[in-house]
Structures are given as C-alpha cells and as structure tokens.
Amino acid sequence: MDGILNINKPAGKTSYGVIAMVRRLTGERHAGHAGTLDPEATGVLPVCLGKGTRVVEFMMEAHKVYRADIELGVSTDTYDGEGKVTARGDATLITGEMLETALEGFRGDIRQVPPMYSALKHQGQPLYELARAGTIIERESRPVTIYGLSLLDWQSPLVTLEIECSKGTYIRSLAHDLGEKLGCGAYMKTLVRTGYGVFNIGNAVTLEQLAEAAGKGDMANYLQPIDSVLSHLPSLTVDAAGEEAIKTGSPPAIETNNIPEASQKYCRAYSADGRFLAILHFNTEENIWRPKKVFV
C-alpha cells in the first residue's frame, strides 16, 4: 500500500501506537507518521505507507492547526494536565481585554522555549527522561511562527484558542507562557489537531473505521495519493523518453516552456498520461533538474 492515511488519533494512544496498529491492519511494514502528537492529544495524524514514507520530509513544513483548551490559574511541570501542579494563581481578575492584549504578543514570529517534558534530546537522551529523573536542562529558545491565533471561547478560567503555526511549535509552551504573561499561571488542558497541510479533521478516519474497512477489504478508500501532500511544489510533464530517464535516475529532457523556476529547488514530475513519477531537485552546478525521489 503506497499512500497516506489521514488518521484521527484518539486520546490515550501514542503516535507510535497508532503506527503499530496501522501496520497490523494494512500488513504494510513501511509506515511512519509526520508530526508526533502527545498521547492525550487527539486529531489529525498523517500516516505514510509504503513509498509514501519517502515524502515525510516534504510534509514537515506544512502549517498545523490546533484547538486548545487552556486553564488559567494552575501551572504544571509538564505544561499539560498530565503533570504535577507546581503553582496556583488567581485567575478571577483576568478580563477578556487582558486576555486579548496578552495574546497579541504571541502572534507572528516569536521565540519559544521547548518544555522539559518533550522528546527533544540532550546529549542523545530525551529531555523527558532527564525530567523524570529530576534533572532540569537549560533549553535555548527557538524561532517559531504563529500564523493565526484566535480566541474561540472564554469562560473563566477556561480559554479556548485556535492556533495555526509552523513546525516545531509547542502548544503546551504557548499555554504556559500565556499564564506567565497574565501573572496567574496556566496549563494546556486539552489539545486537538484539526489541520495538517492538506489534511483536516473533517475527513480524518478513526482507527475503528480503519479496522472495519480492513475487515471488508476496502481500506484503500481511505488512502490518499502520495503527491496529494506535494501540491505546494511546481509540476512538469515529461514524454516517454523523459520517463525512461527518470526511471534510471538520469535528468529528463524538459521543454523550455515547461521548466519550473530554479529557485523552487524541487518539483513534481508526471508522465504524459498523468502518472506521478518523481520529485526532481534542481542541481545548481549542472543547471539541470535531477531525480531526487523516484516513484516508478
């Protein structure tokens, strides 16, 4: 099975646990996810199968959209509901106007310190392992981009936000930092990933639906084409000779009016009858497009 499944991950299951179940249901050994979700988080988890695993690196830059419930007045060591309470504050004085003012500072290009309870590694060891052992490591802030940040609901002390962000953004850190800015503390109570690039939660498939489809033998109905996640790349069409060249890893001859701008770096190549053939990469030294990943 070559393609991508848009899985609606349930709470209480790790992203790896989802992959393990998908492998059992599909019988496909080559499977991987694009973008980990915490065990208690739910929502869109793209799972790549077969040759689909070869485009994971091209998916990572896609925007992610989350809906988060953040509780003011409580801080935890993990920045979410799974951790130990480290402080309590008074959220009763927080107004909607104060909240909107605080949120403004989190829009656009910001710097964010990753939580200690994360899979990031320090000298080869995951930070969460060090945290559980009582060791706290100084973490450097990293640049992330918040493309959109909307206040969906405010019923004190609970804040519901919709966040559209870049890769590497920790919503738990955003919740914690919001609490610090308001002076009352906060933690992320629930998190749902509602969008990931071209995928959204409205057409995501649950593991129960996938298991039912597997029993009926029509699981392929949920499988998205590999190139569905590459629409941000320009495309070109090659003739039969170009297709044969791509199959051997050689640069195809391309008609002048069909050549993408070299600044794009990557492009999609299709056959004359519309079959997806490969991802091409522009070689600046040779000034030609060479096959980067071939799918035929």
210 within 8 A of 221, measured Cβ to Cβ: no
Distance CA 174, CA 105 (A): 11
37 within 8 A of 45, measured Cβ to Cβ: yes
265 within 8 A of 225, measured Cβ to Cβ: no
Contacts of 111 (CB under 8 A, 6+ apart): 141, 142, 143, 144
Distance CA 193, CA 163 (A): 9
Main-chain dihedrals φ then ψ at residue 41, nearest 5 degrees:
-75, 155
Provide DSSP, 39-84.
TT-EEEEEEEEGGGGGGHHHHTTS-EEEEEEEEETEEETTSBTTS-
- Any catalytic annotation for residue 90? no
* Helix, strand or coil, per DSSP, at residue 261: coil
H helix intervals, 105-151: 127-132
Main-chain dihedrals φ then ψ at residue 276, nearest 5 degrees:
-75, 125
Distance CA 259, CA 243 (A): 15
Give the active site residue among 2, 38, 90, 109. 38
H helix intervals, the chain: 15-26, 56-59, 96-104, 127-132, 171-182, 207-216, 240-247
Q: Which residues pair with 191 in a beta bridge?
A: 68
Catalytic residues: 38
